[in-house]
A and B are shown apart, each in its own frame.
Chain A
Amino acid sequence: MPRASCLNYEEVTANFTWSIAEKELHYKPGEPINIGWMCSDRICQMGNERKLALIWENFQGEHRQYTFDDLRLLSNTIAQFVCDLGIKPRERVCLFMDRIPELYIGFLGILKTGAVAQPLFSAFGDESLLVRLKDAGTAAIFTQKKHVHKIRKIRDQLPDLRHIIVVDAGDSPLQEREIAFHMDEARRVEDFVVFPTFAESPSVLHYTSGTTGQPKGAQHVHYSIISQYLTSKWVLDLQPNDIYWCNADPGWVTGTSYGIIGPWSNGATQVVLDSGFNAESWYHFIEKQRVTVWYSAPTAIRLLMKEGKEIVRRHDLSSLRHLASVGEPLNPEAVIWSQEAYGRPFHDTFWQTETGCIVITNLPGMPIKAGSMGKPFPGITATVLDLTTFEPINQTGIAGLIALRPGWPSQIRGYWNNEAGFNAKFKNGWYLCGDRASIDADGYYWFMGRDDDVINTGGHLVGPFEIESALLEHPAVHESAAVAKPDPVNMEVVKAFVTLKPGYTPSDELELEIMNRIRKKLSPLAMPQEIEFVDSLPKTRSGKIVRRVLRCKEFHEPVGDLSTIMDD
């Protein structure tokens, strides 16, 4: 197969089958398939055991690196450790760590045992953690000593959680159910019998937010690697000699699909910078590591734009060959700016936790229309549906619901413990993404916004229900509504509208106290960036809060039909 940049979109789409990836991965339907093995042992068997798989640095300049043979041995070691703890196939094992090597390699190790990897964002507060661990019935959790106190706070509410594994415990005293494991110091396991998972065996459980209810556990299977491998190769244009940098945290789906599975199944070397945003250190990292393929996010790109082009000129970024972006729509200005600053445009990619892989995209070599999401990846049948009939819209330029015909390899197989929620994602045989777009005459998709109340902040989806529930736990809060508010960097941020209980009065101090409380209980992403104290909230006659009215106000959009709103 030629390089992605040489592909003819129409030709490839017309002749496409996912068997292209199956053949390249030497997978035959019906045989065992295991992501952990595919990303480590298989690459070694191809003669790449000495090739670097992971180069890791943190903000302090600490450096660690691992070859594909290290990946194989260390994932074996972790797998053996997990098995020795008595963890059984299909049990959920959580990874709750910063972006350290143990997270990436532990992911493969867990999958090798047949257990399900459940990565969670390490900035989650104890309430966010509790909801997700409880729902999943998680049996074990890998964490760092800096995060273990959050688990200690909630472990009594988690009877299924048998083991808390601390990867950097050192001499720190451990408590009940806690055990130390130091990956780099453990005796390496040469031979581990990888559990024979099959195409439909569960692999990864990622939690994602919806409009109603608590976050839902999106269940992926080992067969997902088929689409993650091929989209990494064709969309990210990953070649065996690339140095690849994905900014995403594996606590979110981009960080696993394209921060672990995609690059390593392609045998690419990936670099990880465990650091917060800093333009100087990011550019220095690209220059030092000679990064060739960079997968970033619009929020990060806009932050880099704010830093200007002069700082770009101070660094040698000539190694960069291909740039892509994910998380939220990439605005045209960012595409144009990156062309001017880096000599290359960012290519927008659209997908979500439930799709498991990129589904609409600007393939390399395809003309980019700045601001467009691109076209469906070959093998993905996409359309936009009428908002009321749920039938495909055949006219160009008309807004509809982005919908995909089910059946691609990395589509989720369900939501954990939530069959009704999963079934609600389908209409007339289409999977509904929850976003609106239009299609132009050339078949390019143009993003228009969410179709629900979910807030897309910095590329992460935050559910209003979870925030509102946490707000109501504050003694001063009577009622609350969380909605999106436009933001120049993060696209959207959370804004909360709050009514207070008698005896409480609005103040800056109260606003700050509530903000910090949400940040600690849930996460910084969920923290309202603004709280507006109001006398009442718009409600239907049955008493349900109508977030739409508040959201429209923030976006200066027409509110629409208000006939069901209660008069105050």
Chain B
Amino acid sequence: MDEITQVVRDYVVREYIEEGDDRQITETTPLISGGIVDSFSMVSLKRFLERKYHIQIPDACATPDAFDTVKSIVELVRRFQNAPAASICPP
């Protein structure tokens, strides 16, 4: 598991998995459709990613699909690390 994946997974487990909840979070566990992260909570997750990786994720790109798994979140982060936001998500 690479560093970004590890960081994102650890953050999801720490912040969104309740104590005593024995669900395992893998790279492909559905977070949004699985009810672990809802659309309201997604905002704080987005904020964490932006701060941690010094990126700006436009709201148009912060979709439930993009945040549905650790894998898709990591892909999103990598895209924004490698290119300016405007070239990835149209306003």
Contacts and interface: CB of A to CB of B under 8 A. Distances in A.
Co-assembled chains A and B: yes
Interface of A: 59-60, 98, 123, 145-150, 152, 274-279, 281, 303, 306, 457-458, 489-490, 493, 508-509, 511-512, 515-516, 519, 524-525, 527, 529
Nearest to B15: A516
A303 B41 CA distance: 16
B33 A303 contact: no
Contacts of A123: 38
B90 to A, nearest CB: 13
A278 B64 CA distance: 7
A511 B41 contact: no
A299 to B, nearest CB: 8
A98 B15 CA distance: 19
Interface SS of chain A: helix
Interface residues of B, number: 27
Contact of A458 (B15, B33, B40, B44): B40
B18 to A, nearest CB: 6
A519 B39 CA distance: 12
B10 interface: no
Contacts of A145: 20, 22
Contacts of A277: 32-33, 38-39, 64
A274 B35 contact: yes
Given A508-B47, A509-B51, A512-B47, A276 B41 contact: no
A303 B32 CA distance: 13
A219 B39 CA distance: 30
B89 interface: no
Interface string B64-78: 110010000000000
Interface string B36-51: 1111110110011001
Given A149-B19, A303-B39, A512 B64 contact: no
- From A123, A145, A146, A490, residue with most partner B Cβ within 10 Å: A146
Contacts of A515: 43-44, 47
Nearest to A149: B20
Nearest to B47: A512
Nearest to A278: B33
- From A152, A277, A489, A525, residue with most partner B Cβ within 10 Å: A277
23 contacts: A59-B34, A60-B34, A145-B20, A145-B22, A146-B18, A146-B21, A146-B22, A148-B20, A275-B33, A276-B32, A276-B33, A276-B64, A277-B33, A277-B64, A278-B65, A279-B64, A281-B33, A306-B63, A490-B40, A493-B40, A508-B47, A515-B43, A516-B44
B85 to A, nearest CB: 18
B40 A529 contact: yes
A511 B47 contact: yes
- From A150, A274, A512, A527, residue with most partner B Cβ within 10 Å: A512
Nearest to A489: B39
B35 A147 contact: no
- From B30, B34, B36, B44, residue with most partner A Cβ within 10 Å: B44
Nearest to A514: B44
Contacts of B18: 146-147, 149-150
Contacts of A152: 20
A149 B39 CA distance: 23
B21 A149 contact: yes
Given A276-B64, A278-B65, A509-B51, 20 more contacts: A59-B33, A59-B35, A123-B38, A146-B18, A146-B21, A146-B23, A147-B18, A149-B19, A152-B20, A276-B34, A276-B36, A276-B37, A277-B32, A277-B38, A277-B64, A458-B39, A508-B47, A512-B47, A515-B44, A524-B40
